[in-house]
Amino acid sequence: MANVRLVDVKKAFGAVEVLKGVDLEIADGEFVVFVGPSGCGKSTLLRTIAGLEEATTGQVSIGDRVVNDLSPSDRGIAMVFQSYALYPHMTAYENMAFGLKLAKTDRAEIDRRVRAAAEALSITDYLDRKPKAMSGGQRQRVAIGRAIVREPDVFLFDEPLSNLDAALRVRMRYEFARLHAELKTTMIYVTHDQVEAMTLADRIVVLNGGRIEQVGAPMDLYQRPANLFVAGFIGSPR
Strand ordering across the sheet containing 57-62: 16-26, 4-13, 57-62, 65-66
DSSP assignment of 186-210, as one string?
Answer: EEEEE-S-HHHHHHH-SEEEEEETT
Which 153-192 residues touch Mg ion, going by CB under 5 A?
none
Tell me how far apart the alpha carbons of residues 139 and 231 are, in angstroms, rounded to a whole number. Answer: 36
**Residue 18 interacts with ligand ADP (CB under 6 A): yes or no:** yes
Q: Of 142 and 234, which has the nearer Cβ to ligand ADP?
A: 234
Q: List Cβ neighbours of 134 (8 Å cut-off, separation of 6 or more).
A: 92, 126, 142
Q: Of 17 and 28, which has the nearer Cβ to ligand ADP?
A: 17
CB of 82 to Mg ion, least distance (A): 8
Q: What is the biggest distance separating any 2 CA atoms in the chain, rounded to whole angstroms? A: 55
Out of 22, 41, 150, 218, name the contact with ligand ADP by CB under 6 A: 41
Out of 8, 25, 39, 119, name the contact with ligand ADP by CB under 6 A: 39
**Which one of ligand ADP, Mg ion, none is in contact with 137 (Cβ closer than 5 to 8 A by kind)?**
none
Question: Which of the stretches 37-45, 86-94, 175-183, 217-225 binds ligand ADP when contact is defined by CB under 6 A?
Answer: 37-45
Q: Are 174 and 16 in contact (CB under 8 A)?
A: no
In terms of DSSP bridges, do strands 186-190 and 31-35 run parallel, antiparallel, or are they unpaired? parallel
Tell me how far apart the alpha carbons of residues 50 and 45 are, in angstroms, rounded to a whole number. Answer: 9
CA distances from 162 to 5, 140, 172, 190 (A): 27, 11, 11, 10
**Residue 40 interacts with ligand ADP (CB under 6 A): yes or no:** yes
**Residue 43 interacts with Mg ion (CB under 5 A): yes or no:** yes
Question: Which of the stretches 41-49, 65-73, 113-121, 144-152 binds ligand ADP when contact is defined by CB under 6 A?
Answer: 41-49
**Residue 44 interacts with ligand ADP (CB under 6 A): yes or no:** yes
Q: Of 72 and 99, which has the nearer Cβ to Mg ion?
A: 72
Nearest Cα to Cα of residue 81 among 190, 182, 173: 190
Q: Of 54 and 119, which has the nearer Cβ to ligand ADP?
A: 54
CB of 36 to ligand ADP, least distance (A): 6
Q: Are 200 and 189 in contact (CB under 8 A)?
A: yes
Question: Which of the stretches 38-46, 180-188, 192-200, 203-211 binds Mg ion when contact is defined by CB under 5 A?
Answer: 38-46
Q: Which residues bind Mg ion (CB under 5 A)?
A: 42-43
Q: Which residues bind ligand ADP (CB under 6 A)?
A: 13, 18, 36, 38-44
